[in-house]
Amino acid sequence: ARTVSRDADGVATVGGIKVTDLAEEFGTPAFFLDEEDFRARCRAWREAFGTEADVFYAGKAFLSRAVVRWLHEEGLNLDVCSEGELATALDAGMPAERIALHGNNKSTREITRAVEAGVGRIVLDSFQEIVRVARVAERLGRRQRVQIRVTVGVEAHTHEFIATAHEDQKFGLALAGGQAAEAVRRALKLDGLELIGIHSHIGSQIFDTSGFEVAAHRVVGLLKEIRDEHGVELPEIDLGGGLGIAYTSDDDPREPHEIAKALGDIVTRECAAAGLAVPRLSVEPGRAIAGPTAFTLYEIGTVKELPGLRTYVSVDGGMSDNIRTALYDAEYSVALVSRTSTAEPMLSRVVGKHCESGDIVVRDAFLPADLAPGDLLAVPATGAYCRSMASNYNHALRPPVVAVKDGAARVIVRRETEEDLFRLDVG
């Protein structure tokens, strides 16, 4: 969270509340999310892109009904990629026309629910889906606004991107080889579809704007081909999400206004060169909004020193509340927050309490040598893809998300209970 300072006893405070009080009231592990920071990031994206563009928050990063209301109030739209996310969005009052539905294998049921609700757009991801959405819309007497997701041949990695002739992954229809152009041809023929634009998402946790620029360039190229072949100018392009955040001090993320300027400039320039009207732009940041706004608070249970190796510090959560370290080799920082210490820093590994050795939260960290059971550790930047990817592995109870605002804390997602755990068992 934005403002972590220490009071006179060395206890870290968040929004004026001591972390020791937070732990006492809400238990550990728990996610604490700075609501004002979340809203400020929404506003920064809106302001960077202005009224000529739309910002769709990617709900997969972290979604709850409270979050949907904040997005609504801050003027953002919402990208959902499953029926569950769609249901949450609608239930919490997001107007359907501000929702975009994604996914590489949407079921007829999901599509029907989205079309019936009147979602603003469905992003088509395969030839089969073009027909599937058209049939549903025709049956319901609707014309569904759709975009076609294309793969532009830019493969984004952390800290870099590599241009490839064609991308070997499951999403979208390739520009190279003409699949994307063929998808446009088919979509334009179907009465149930109103093709409004082209969509591209190049990847996630990207620090460099050049990957987005290459994508924008290629998408505009397709718009030009479509105009030349069909005589229609599609009015929208969506360039997806993917802007990286700082997990450790080595990361140097771009700001929303930098990406807005880079994209705006290139789209405007290339459209002018092609004689196209500038389409309405949209983007789908998830991590860059939610990620930095929350931290996880853990309590230490055991400390095991392995002489000559490192110290293993076990906390009361782990891969069930943060799978990213195990899954992506993600890097996090960690700090002792319940007190200060002048003890020697020791090479440490913060691990969870799950029954496997890959259950690592922070692979390498220097933590004071006098760490002891009961000390509290905070892991920052866990607002995206941690609670949303949390599991019940080893029958762990998934932690709560507590929103802190104006010196007050309130639960927006409660901690699971044993009743929640038993609720699905039959017999």
| String marking each residue 4-43 x if it binds ligand LLP according to CB under 6 A | ----------------------------------------
DSSP state of 216: H
DSSP state of 6: E
- With H, G, I as helix, E, B as strand and everything else as coil, classify residue 105: coil
Backbone angles phi, psi at 130, to 5 degrees: -55, -45
User: Is the distance from CB of 279 to CB of 10 less than 8 angstroms?
Assistant: no
| Residue entry with tokens 């990031």 | 41
Q: Which stretch binds ligand LLP (CB under 6 A): 57-65, 69-77, 312-320, 337-345?
A: 57-65
List the one residue from 120, 172, 240, 253 that touches ligand LLP (CB under 6 A).
240
332 binds ligand LLP, rule: CB under 6 A: no
| Beta strand ranges found along 35-169 (DSSP E) | 53-58, 77-80, 99-101, 121-124, 144-151, 154-157, 160-163
Task: Assess whether 386 carries a catalytic annotation.
Answer: no
Does the annotation list 242 as a binding residue? yes
Helix (H) / strand (E) element for 50: namely none
Reference 33, options 337, 375, 384, 361; nearest CA is 384
Residue burial 166-181, b: 16+ Cβ < 10 Å; e: rest: ebeeebbbbbeeebbb
Reference 163, options 155, 171, 172; nearest CA is 155
Does the annotation list 285 as a binding residue? yes
Q: Closest CB to ligand LLP among 18 and 261?
A: 261
Minimum distance, C-beta of residue 231 to ligand LLP, in the bound complex (Å): 29
Does the annotation list 356 as a binding residue? yes
Q: Which stretch binds ligand LLP (CB under 6 A): 27-35, 154-162, 198-206, 348-356?
A: 198-206
Does the annotation list 258 as a binding residue? no
Reference 354, options 389, 315, 381, 385; nearest CA is 315
List the one residue from 239, 385, 402, 413 that touches ligand LLP (CB under 6 A).
385
| String marking each residue 103-132 x if it binds ligand LLP according to CB under 6 A | ------------------------------
Strand partners, 192: none
101 binds ligand LLP, rule: CB under 6 A: no
Q: Closest CB to ligand LLP among 81 and 371?
A: 81
CA-only gyration radius of the chain, Å:
23
Does the annotation list 385 as a binding residue? yes
Q: Give the pairing type, strands 4-6 and 12-14.
A: antiparallel
Angle at alpha carbon of residue 341, lines to 339 and 344, rounded to 5°: 155
Q: Which stretch binds ligand LLP (CB under 6 A): 54-62, 68-76, 88-96, 357-365?
A: 54-62
324 binds ligand LLP, rule: CB under 6 A: yes
List the one residue from 120, 192, 241, 399 that touches ligand LLP (CB under 6 A).
241
User: Is the distance from CB of 33 to CB of 412 less than 8 angstroms?
Assistant: yes
Minimum distance, C-beta of residue 1 to ligand LLP, in the bound complex (Å): 18
| String marking each residue 283-302 x if it binds ligand LLP according to CB under 6 A | -xxxxx--------------
Does the annotation list 352 as a binding residue? no
79 binds ligand LLP, rule: CB under 6 A: yes
Could you list the active site residues?
Answer: 355
List binding-site positions for pyridoxal 5'-phosphate: 242, 284-287, 385
